[in-house]
């Protein structure tokens, strides 16, 4: 009887063990299903049950770790991978997974150590090389990162992500031809990758291949019409080739998608200024100010636009606002001086030029314009001193030579006048301003005639 009971117990225990195995398999599979449904709490609950039934189940520690990672429970995730490593010290996948979790927590030294251990255990472990290379890249260790991506591509020649990362690295290292080659490989492997077209467009742009860049940005936009960065970059390239109509269209689309992106208004306003459409430029600068009432440059540029429209009083108001925000804005003082000169308020102009020259004492144009104001006030010696200072800072400043020559003529110093006007004519000729050069040459001949007549 005793032997029969022992045999019966064994049968029951085996049956229970089988039920447990079946139960473990059921909970494990159901947990994986929950995982696919992204119902992570229920997945973890099932994996917990598996581990209660079998605390040595390495695979469940791995998959529960993953689920915990998806729930951003990174410390618990790491604990699961560590337990998997304790149970299976040569399991490369556990080291790689733990390394990835350490990376998310920015514990990069431990991440690198785990990736290296995974590679030591599995020398052809592509994902471990990839993660290691990405970590080196984050740390700014570009050569080890390049080496890592090289190895990934060697092991997995169709790994588009590795080409993309390596292309970004080459771009950072200013090796744009190699970057273009890698982005082209990404596009070959994944023709719908808008980011690769945008990145290749950026590299083409830097190399001055503007038409190629436009083609790349256009394809990126075709793939993702909401990709405002590609649209913006396309606008920049149109601007580079002076296709202002298309540039404006691009910036306008960016503004539609990103209505508070100040730089898009700024770039569009700059083009309107080039096209002398100052009213539209003013509208864009006004939009910038609506978003940022402390944007000194918007007030400054709006002042310039009013200046071109000869709305001088409004221009002065804009420069006043700019200077209030930045008392060291040299250009605002300078242009406010120019505006006062346009209003024949030369003393006020000089005060502004004084402030501008105090901020930027080596600006030839400020000295030249202050000299012009002194000339209008018939303070000729001060004018000559400023023209001379302008020439000192810019020896090829044709306007300064011309203006000083005119003052010498007023002061009846024909030799000095002729000398300066001759230098001015020569410089204007070199600058391709032949009409002005001819007019000055005629003036010089007239001065020679007067000099000989006075003789």
Using CA atoms, how far residue 137 sits from 119, 140, 162, 185, 379, in Å, is: 18, 5, 12, 20, 64
> Which is nearest to 254 in space by CA: 235, 272, 273?
235
Q: Give the tokens for residue 265.
A: 């208004």
Domains parsed from the chain with CATH numbers: 171-243 (1.25.40.10), 260-361 (1.25.40.10)
Neighbours of 239 (CB within 10 A): 21
H-type helices in 91-175, by residue range?
A: 92-104, 108-121, 126-138, 142-155, 160-172
> Which is nearest to 349 in space by CA: 340, 362, 357?
340
Q: Is 411 helix (H, G, I), strand (E, B) or coil?
A: coil
Q: Give the tokens for residue 219.
A: 């394809």
Q: Is 5's pLDDT higher than 90? A: no
> Which is nearest to 131 in space by CA: 116, 142, 153?
116
**In residues, how long is the chain?**
455
Q: Is 300's pLDDT higher than 70? A: yes
Give 19's pLDDT tier (boundaries 50, 70, 90).
low
- Are the CB atoms for 439 and 424 separated by under 8 Å? no
Mean pLDDT of 329-333: 98
- Are the CB atoms for 133 and 148 separated by under 8 Å? yes
Distance CA(62)–CA(334), nearest Å, equals 69
Q: Give the DSSP letter string of 41-80.
A: HHHHHHHHHHHHH-TT-HHHHHHHHHHHHHTT-HHHHHHH
Q: Is 15's pLDDT higher than 50? A: no
In tens, the pLDDT along 46-68 reads: 999 999 999 999 999 999 999 99
DSSP letter assigned to residue 122: S
- Are the CB atoms for 84 and 94 separated by under 8 Å? yes
In tens, the pLDDT along 185-205 reads: 999 999 999 999 999 999 999
Distance CA(11)–CA(349), nearest Å, equals 108
- For residue 216, the model assigns a pLDDT of 98
Give 6's pLDDT tier (boundaries 50, 70, 90).
low
Q: What are phi and psi of 132, to 5 degrees?
A: -65, -45
- Are the CB atoms for 92 and 62 separated by under 8 Å? no
Q: Is 336's pLDDT higher than 80? A: yes
- Are the CB atoms for 139 and 133 separated by under 8 Å? no
Using CA atoms, how far residue 74 sits from 109, 202, 282, 402, in Å, is: 16, 36, 52, 74
Q: Is 85's pLDDT higher than 60? A: yes
| Start-to-end C-alpha separation, the chain | 152
Q: Is 173 helix (H, G, I), strand (E, B) or coil?
A: coil
Give 449's pLDDT tier (boundaries 50, 70, 90).
confident
- Are the CB atoms for 228 and 236 separated by under 8 Å? no
Q: Give the tokens for residue 61.
A: 């520690």
If phi > 0 it is left, if psi is from -120 to 50 it is alpha, else beta; for residue 433 that is beta
In tens, the pLDDT along 173-182 reads: 999 999 999 9
Give 20's pLDDT tier (boundaries 50, 70, 90).
low
Q: Give the tokens for residue 314.
A: 């409004």
Block residue for tokens 């119902």: 39
Q: Give the tokens for residue 202.
A: 């950026």
Q: Is 16's pLDDT higher than 50? A: no
Q: What is the mean pLDDT of the chain?
A: 94
**H or E element: which one contains 187?**
helix 176-189
Handedness of CA 450, 451, 452, 455 (dihedral sign): positive
In tens, the pLDDT along 231-271 reads: 999 999 999 999 999 999 999 999 999 999 999 999 999 99
**Three-state SS across 224-279?**
CCCCHHHHHHHHHHHHHCCCHHHHHHHHHHHHHHCCCCHHHHHHHHHHHHHCCCHH
Angle at 33 between CA 31 and CA 35, to 5 degrees: 70
- For residue 12, the model assigns a pLDDT of 42
Q: Give the tokens for residue 213.
A: 């860049």
Give 455's pLDDT tier (boundaries 50, 70, 90).
low
- For residue 180, the model assigns a pLDDT of 98
Q: Give the DSSP letter string of 423-434.
A: HHHHHHHHTT-H
H-type helices in 326-395, by residue range?
A: 330-342, 346-359, 364-376, 380-393
Angle at 228 between CA 233 and CA 244, to 5 degrees: 45
Predicted TM-score (pTM) of this structure: 0.82
Distance CA(310)–CA(124), nearest Å, equals 72
């Amino acid at each position: 009887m005793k032997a029969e009971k022992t045999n019966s117990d064994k049968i029951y225990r085996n049956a229970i063990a089988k039920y447990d195995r079946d139960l473990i398999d059921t909970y494990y599979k159901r947990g994986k299903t929950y995982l696919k449904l992204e119902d992570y709490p229920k997945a973890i609950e099932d994996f917990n049950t598996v581990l209660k039934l079998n605390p040595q189940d390495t695979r469940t520690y791995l998959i529960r770790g993953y689920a915990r990672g998806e729930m951003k429970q990174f410390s618990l995730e790491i604990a699961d991978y560590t337990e998997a490593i304790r149970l299976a010290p040569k399991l490369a996948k556990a080291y790689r997974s733990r390394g990835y979790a350490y990376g998310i927590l920015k514990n990069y030294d431990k991440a690198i150590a785990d990736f290296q251990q995974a590679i030591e255990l599995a020398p052809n472990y592509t994902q471990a090389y990839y993660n290691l290379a990405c970590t080196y890249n984050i740390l700014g260790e570009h050569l080890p990162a390049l080496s890592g991506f090289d190895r990934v591509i060697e092991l997995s020649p169709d790994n588009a992500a590795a080409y993309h990362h390596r292309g970004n690295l080459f771009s950072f290292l200013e090796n744009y031809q190699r970057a273009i080659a890698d982005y082209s490989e990404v596009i070959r492997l994944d023709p719908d990758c808008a980011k690769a077209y945008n990145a290749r467009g950026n590299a083409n742009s830097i190399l001055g291949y503007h038409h190629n860049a436009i083609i790349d940005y256009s394809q990126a936009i075709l793939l993702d019409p909401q990709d405002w960065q590609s649209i913006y970059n396309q606008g920049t390239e149109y601007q580079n080739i002076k296709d202002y109509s298309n540039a404006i269209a691009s910036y306008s689309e960016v503004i539609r998608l990103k209505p508070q992106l100040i730089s898009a208004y700024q770039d569009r306003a700059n083009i309107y200024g080039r096209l002398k459409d100052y009213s539209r430029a003013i509208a864009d600068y006004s939009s910038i100010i609506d978003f940022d009432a402390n944007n000194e440059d918007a007030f400054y540029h709006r002042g310039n636009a009013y200046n071109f429209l000869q709305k001088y009083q409004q221009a002065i108001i804009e420069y006043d606002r700019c200077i209030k925000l930045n008392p060291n804005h040299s250009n605002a003082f300078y242009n406010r001086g120019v505006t006062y000169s346009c209003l024949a308020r030369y003393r006020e102009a000089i005060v502004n030029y004084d402030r501008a020259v105090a901020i930027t004492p080596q600006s030839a144009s400020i000295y030249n314009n202050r000299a012009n104001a002194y000339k209008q006030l018939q303070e000729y010696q001060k004018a000559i001193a400023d023209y001379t200072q302008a020439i000192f800072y810019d020896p090829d400043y044709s306007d300064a030579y011309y203006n000083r020559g005119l003052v010498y003529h007023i002061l009846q110093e024909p030799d000095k006048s002729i000398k300066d006007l001759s230098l001015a004519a020569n410089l204007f000729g070199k600058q391709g301003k032949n009409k002005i050069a001819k007019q000055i040459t005629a003036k010089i001949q007239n001065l020679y005639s007067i000099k000989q007549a006075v003789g």
